[in-house]
Structure formats: C-alpha cells, structure tokens
Structure 1
Amino acid sequence: PLLAPMSEVAGRMAIQAGAHALEKAQGGRGVLLGGVPGVAPAKVVVIGGGVVGLNAARMAMGLGADVTILDKSLNRLKEIDNVFGGRIKTLVSNTSNIEEQCEAADLVVGAVLVPGALAPKLVTRAMLKKMQAGAVLVDVAIDQGGCFETSHATTHQEPTYVVDGVVHYCVANMPGGVARTSTLALSNATLPFALELANKGWAGALLDNPHLRNGLNVCRGKVTFEAVAKDLGYQYVDPVEAIKASS
C-alpha cells in the first residue's frame, strides 16, 4: 500500500519516457506510439501485469499503441482481458513468448518486480540481438537490479544508452522526475501509517499493522525480511518474534 502510488507513477512514466526515446533524435526508430491514419501504431510489449505493468499498458493503450501484456498468472491475464475488453492483448509469460514479442516490439517495458528481492533477468543479450534497431527497452525494475540482462542504472540527466542498436532507458527512481506528483501521491498513502506510528510507537504499530510489519527489514540487528536474508546470506528471523524481543 505504501509503494503502490510510486509503481503507478513509474508505470505511466515508462510509456512517456519510452515514447520520447523512440524519437529519431533520441536514437530510436522514429516511431509514433499511436501512429496516424494509414500508418500502423507502435507495438508495445509490457512484461509483468502488476501495478507497474497495468499502468504502463493503460497509458500505451490510451496513446493508441498496439499493446501486449505478459504475465505468469492466468487469473491476472483474465482480469486484464475482462477490464479492457480485448483492447490489450494478453499472453502467458514464458521464454518463447517473451522472445517472440520482443523481436517484433518497438517498445518493451520491464515491469517485473519481486518485493525485497532481485528482479529476474527475462530479456537476455541473445534476445536483444534479434530486436529491431532503434527499439526501446524501459526497465522499471532497475531499482531491484533490472529485468533485462543488459540493464544498468542511469540518471534523469543521462537516461539512456544503446546496446546492440537497442535504446535502454534504465533510470533509477523514475518517480523523482515528476517529484510534485510523486510526493502528493506518496503522502496520501503514507500519512495514515505515520500517524499510526506516532500514536502507537513503532513496536505497537508494527505488531498491529501487517503492512507496516511487512516493510520491516532489520530489527536490532536481526534480518526480518526473508528475501533480503536469502539474497544476502543472513539468518532470517520472524518479524513478530524480533519485535516482541526488542520491545
């Protein structure tokens, strides 16, 4: 609930940034997302159907692009199909489908985020070599290591680089580019939790509120987030036990 607004912002920004990067002057293919009468729209592929992916797909669809979204969950794909009535194409996310879709794509958005853990590398260097020259990759998962093998973090000042003719946009903290919108959105989500912390104290608030407790990474030197403990090689301690032992 705390990071959902930032995922919404990042997902929508991914299309905005990707559309700009597709311009010829930016090294892109020179393709307009929505096309014009008589000219086909750009093909946009979104990998991941969570908050980021859904917001990216909605933005791309709104601009008139040909949008396909891939996700591992059939239930999630059914939800997306029901909501958008087939205006967004859906595919099961697997290596074969990702490779096929990337090869034909003008813009690929990597929206696969694993909370507290490294993002999986879903688009390999070999796949990249088969993509169209001037196609664009936007890696929204770069804060978690990125979901493209060739990704490395960039900045708002120098947002893109090119590998094998493919433009990469890998800005860490994408919502920082629209700081006013991001701040208001984040404040709306975080204020109730801040008040709960103030009224109950940190231990009481975390014990009462599972959302706050799920955000706890370290407590008195104990790693209380399982994915972090696993990735960094530390012993995992249940957060409730750690909180009770320290309060």
Structure 2
Amino acid sequence: MRLLVAAAFALVLAGGCQQPQPPAPAAGAPTKGPLTAQLKAEGDALMARGDYERAVVKYLAAVNQEPKDVSLRFALGVALSNLDRREETIEQFRFVAINGAPGSNEVKLAREWLAKAGALDGAVPEGRQEAKPDTATASGPPKGRLAGRLQWGGIEPRDHLVRITVAIAGEDDANRDVRMQGSNFKLGWGYDFKNLPPGAYRITAENAGTRMWELKVSVAPGKETVLDLTEANSLVTPKDFTPQDG
C-alpha cells in the first residue's frame, strides 16, 4: 500500500529532475516562502534517496511554516507511509482529501491510500465535518467556522509531538445540540471546526488530563472566526504546567 503512493511520488521527483526550471504554480496556488521552499526541496532530495526519517523532519518543519499547504501535507504523508506510521499518515492524507483541489492527483492518491487502509469513511478527521457551502438554507442562516493556532512556549511539532484534545459545545438555543471534539490536534499547528451553526460556544482544550483552555467564543454566520489558544488566554502558565508528548 505504501509503495503505490511512494512510486507516484518518485515519478514526480523524477519528472522534476528532468526539468531545468520548475513549472509555474497553478493559478491561485499559494507561493511558498523561501525557507519553506528550501525545506521542501531538502525533503524531496531525502525522499529520492529513500531516507524517509530525515525527510519527515524536513517536511514537518515546512508544514510548521505553512500548515495549510496541501502539497506539503501530501509529501509528509508519503514519507510517513514509508515508515509504516499509519495514524500519522492517515492524519496527513485526510487533510489532503478534505482541503486539496477536487480531482487533483494528490487528492486521488490520498483517497486511494485511505481506502486501502480502511480509513476513508467520511475522509474527515475526528472532530471535523465536511466543508459545505456557507449559504443560507431553509433550516437557518449560513454556517460558520471556528479555527485557530495552538501555541505554547515555543513548542514545535518537529521537536515535540504534543497532542491536544479540543472540544466545543453550543450554548444558544439554536446550537445547544452541537458537540464536537478532536483528540488529534497538536501544539504548534492548529484546530479547525467547520459547518457550525452561528452563535455562542464554549471551547475547551486539554493535554494529558489537564485543562489548558476554557473560553467562550461567538461564531458569526457565513464567516471564519479565529481564536488562537496561547499562553496569554490559558488557565495555566508555562511555569505551572509542561505539556506531555505523545
């Protein structure tokens, strides 16, 4: 199963080696910063040599710079799949399947791998829902989105893999039945809940049984509400609590 994706990725690398100049980005595609591009190139070179462990380190560093870049997530997933790190591969390929351009090779390969791994159902990580158009329906106003970064004392995923459980609960009559939770978010990256009925929510986040955040937030209809969870709005301080890896 891992060889299928790795072989496709090797073809991409081989094609790139034959071209003196890289192809121009597709219209609307994000342009990587110089540091991210360098990390990606170093990861690609390591992948071509079969050095998957070190490639993962490079790709993780690149993803930390630009966590929403689908091509970086795909490359990281390929490297992880070659190390048989199943759960981490699932996480990356699900991100690609949800956020990648429909019909793109990356999305097709990610979905194919997930299907063979028995992890395609919904293709949505725990605690998330498929993105749907934010348009008004007969059932109510446009849905909203709540997202933000998880930051704590300079912890980065490439150095420490610290998992955070984030949960939200509606507090208005119109959204009181909304209860969502994700246990695979990581410090240094972020969280994201989509397709939310607008209104007031309570958001909590924990690590190893310690509640680090508990806040109220209002999600606007048809918009993305950003709430970063940092030391500044935490229930605990870096002096009092050190998040646990794993």
TM-score range, shorter chain: under 0.3
Q: Flag the structure with higher strand content.
A: 2
TM-score, normalised on structure 2?
Answer: 0.27
